Amino acid sequence: MNEKVLLVDDDEAIREVLSLSIADLGYDVETAPGGREALELCATFKPSIVLTDIKMPGMDGIELLSRVKALDPEIEVIMISGHGDMELAIESLKRQALDFLTKPVRDELLTASLHRAADRVSMRRQITEHTRNLERLVREKSARLVEMERRMAVGQAVEGVASAIEGLIASFDQGPSYFNQMPCCIVIHNRYLEIVAVNTLGRQRLGEVVGKMSWELYADRQGSGNACPVWRTVEQGQGQRGRETFRDKDGREIPVLIHTAPVFGTDGQVELVIEIAADVAEVGRLQEELRAVREKFQRLFDAVPCAIAVLDQDFTVVEANRQWRADFGEAETGPCHKLFAHRDDPCEHCPAESSFHDGAPHEGETVVSTRCGAAKNMWLRTAPIPDATGETSQVIEIAADITPIRALQDHLASLGLMLGSMSHGVKGLLTSLDGGMFKVETGLSREDWTRVRDGWGVVSDKIGRIRNMVLDILWYAKSREPELSPVSIETFARDLAGIVEPKAQSRDVAFILRLGEAAGTLPMDETALTSAMVNLLENAVDACAEDKAKAFHEVTLTVEATAEAVTFVVADNGVGMDQSTRERMFTLFFSSKGSRGTGLGLFIANQIVAQHGGSIAVTSEPGVGSAIAVRLPRGASVCS
């Protein structure tokens, strides 16, 4: 189906140009000059994608984004700005905007962003449809199971029939007509364990047994002392029930479900025993059919290419399919938030908790950790499973892995953020470059060589800075190889200390440098690696400054060198991190600092270390502190 796109911009010319481009891509498009008109169109046009400018009179794009998401969270919103503002981009993405484009909007970026939004809308529809099919299947199979359980409960109802037969004993001498209508074997025993009567079905299956002893009906009991159900009823004065084996008139064994009921005489003693035997062959057939249905359901359950789990009201995983077990281990080992995110408490905005609360389906996106420690972006969809009373006793949770989609989006988003943040810097450089060129031109025209040299110095400096800026953009857009050269380990460590120590002292945090055996050199891209290490060190200083529970704080940089590798260990005694934070700290846009963090620094640091062929190991405990070990091989090779 063609997706509907609502274009919102206060500039009529931009609306006209972009609407033509969007229509040429095959989308149904409507336009609005402002936020209020856009909200009115949302009610009638019902778009699946909204493309909106940020800076508009009246209701701006940020407010429109919030109100559109409140109206329908499934509408994808793409933000457009002519300002390239980093804070606006981050605020938009925090409010669940899909993408951020800068003016003038290039056709290929617009096409890619719209296709990504359409793919996400299509994927959500597929997941919703799949969930509905599963809900329907669960309802059908649940109804089938209830029906089978009712049929199996017939045997239990026989026990009640035994009490009713007591009133029919008086008419027994006139003929067992009442008993002949019942689809089970009914045998009457006296207190001396003699068979005194049997219904028609009993005679057909067991033969002429009247006058025989009670235990002779059974295939595996001999004599009165073997505690057959009839003997126990006479001795205890209480009805009995259980599984037994009869022997039919041809000597074949018949598995039966036995129920006995005593009939008391005027002296209070057991006068007669009514024994009802139901053939369990039919029950066995039903159980086999039930087993086949369960196996079929389990195969379908395991074949779904999503992780599916059934949760009880304590959020314990009581059932899981093959994909879920492969990612998170065996079920019934703990609550889902413990297995998913290694948390002791339920996650914020948990869809399963919402389904338990209101009995309706819910969905959302989260980052989880597999049992191997890998982080995955999951799109969650939950649906309630009602019990016989209609109450939600369980919830089915479907988790679709969207990590590849999110990785592509994160890469494109990081490129857009880099370009936006550099736009103002580029304008300043171009202005300075124009000034330098003016000096060169006027110096040449006046043969003022001092002015020429000054102007050329400005031009040369700005061209170099523009070159470095372009290389940074290429680093985001495409993996680039670090420019490795031998750098003294001791000099590198002391330079890091010189950068970070003043900040630590200004925040009353002690800084300690332990060089140890730091001789020799290490191949590295010094500029990039310095940026990564400074980011880790400054985060350690911030963690100490945020900790109000300790009187003394310190950050230590320790250098541990071997013949194979050099390890830089950044340790602090600050606030520490829980396991959930440790596992997500290097993902794009994740920050534990709230509005003070952008979620870019640690992501970039991890990328730089990985490109040097290195690795980062993190140990931390809340309230105790953290230690981050950056291990770099001496024979570093470039990692793409």
The 10s digit of each residue's pLDDT in 231-242 is 889 888 899 988
Q: Which of 359, 374, 401 is the last residue of a domain?
A: 401
Q: Are residues 565 and 509 in the same domain?
A: yes
Pair (439, 491) in one structural domain:
no
Gap between the Cα atoms of 631 and 640, Å rounded: 18
Kindly state whether residue 297 falls inside one of the protein's structural domains. no
pLDDT of 223: 63
Instruction: Evaluate whether residue 136 is within a structural domain.
Output: no
Question: What tens digit of pLDDT does each residue of 264-276 get?
Answer: 887 788 888 999 8
Three-state SS for 570? Answer: strand
Residues 190, 278, single domain; the answer is yes
> 239: alpha, beta or left, given left = phi > 0 and alpha = psi -120 to 50?
beta
DSSP conformation class of 347: P
pLDDT band of residue 176 (cuts 50, 70, 90) is very low
Domains contained in the chain, number: 5
Q: Are residues 389 and 413 in the same domain?
A: no
pLDDT at 302: 72
Residue 17 placed within a domain? yes
| Residue range 81-138, pLDDT digits in tens | 876 566 777 788 888 888 888 878 888 888 888 898 888 888 888 888 887 888 788 7
Which residues, other chains included, contact 177 with Cβ-Cβ below 8 Å and sequence gap of 6+?
Answer: none
Q: Which residue has the tokens 């290039």?
A: 106
CA terminus-to-terminus distance, the chain: 39
Residue pair 518/489 in contact (Cβ under 8 Å)? The answer is yes
Residue 293 lies in a domain: no
Which of 442, 477, 512 represents a domain boundary (last residue)?
477
What's the pTM value of the predicted model, to 2 decimals? 0.34
When pLDDT is averaged across residues 403-426 and rounded to a whole number, the result is 62
Average pLDDT over residues 325-354: 73
Helices (H), 244-363: 281-303, 322-328, 336-341, 351-358
Mean of pLDDT values over 143-161: 55
Provide the percentage of residues in the chain whose pLDDT is more than 90.
9
274-290 pLDDT, tens digit per residue, is 998 887 775 666 677 77
Same structural domain, 465 and 501? no
Instruction: Examine the pLDDT at 453 and tell me if it is beyond 80.
Output: yes
pLDDT at 595: 41
pLDDT at position 163 is: 45
E strand map for 436-491: 485-488
Do residue 195 and residue 261 come from a single domain?
yes
Is residue 4 pLDDT above 80, yes or no? yes
In the prediction, which pLDDT does 627 show? 94
pLDDT band at 171 (very low <50, low <70, confident <90, very high): very low
Give me the pLDDT at residue 123, please. 86
User: b or e along 367-382 (b: 16 or more beta carbons within 10 Å of the residue's beta carbon)?
Assistant: bbbbeeeeebbbbbbb
> Residue 254 pLDDT > 60, yes or no?
yes
Question: Is the confidence at residue 639, as pLDDT, over 80?
Answer: no
pLDDT at 294 over 70: yes
Domain of residue 332, residue span: 305-401
Q: What is the CATH number of the domain that holds 122?
A: 3.40.50.2300
> Is 434 inside a domain boundary?
yes
CATH of the domain at 354: 3.30.450.20
Q: What pLDDT shows up at residue 326? A: 78
User: The domain spanning residue 490 has which CATH number?
Assistant: 3.30.565.10
Highest mean pLDDT among 175-189, 203-217, 450-464: 203-217
Q: Are residues 27 and 65 in the same domain?
A: yes
Q: Are residues 510 and 472 in the same domain?
A: no
Residue 291 is assigned to a structural domain of this protein = no
Q: What are residue 555's DSSP bridge partners?
A: 511, 572
Could you say which of 477, 495, 523 is where a domain stops? 477
> Which is higher by pLDDT, 179 or 541?
541
255 & 323 share domain: no
Task: Kindly state whether residue 49 falls inside one of the protein's structural domains.
Answer: yes
DSSP labels for 600-636?
Answer: -HHHHHHHHHHHTT-EEEEEEETTTEEEEEEEEETT-
- 315 in the same domain as 184: no
pLDDT at position 217 over 70: yes
Say whether pLDDT at 571 is over 90. Answer: yes
* Residues forming beta bridges with residue 264, ordered by sequence position: 270
Q: Tell me if 193 is assigned to some domain.
A: yes
Q: What is the pLDDT of residue 150?
A: 60
pLDDT of residue 317 exceeding 70, the answer is yes
Q: Are 369 and 446 within one domain?
A: no
The two tokens of residue 262 are 């005593």
pLDDT at 374: 75
Query: Is residue 597 domain-shared with residue 565, that is, in the same domain?
Result: yes
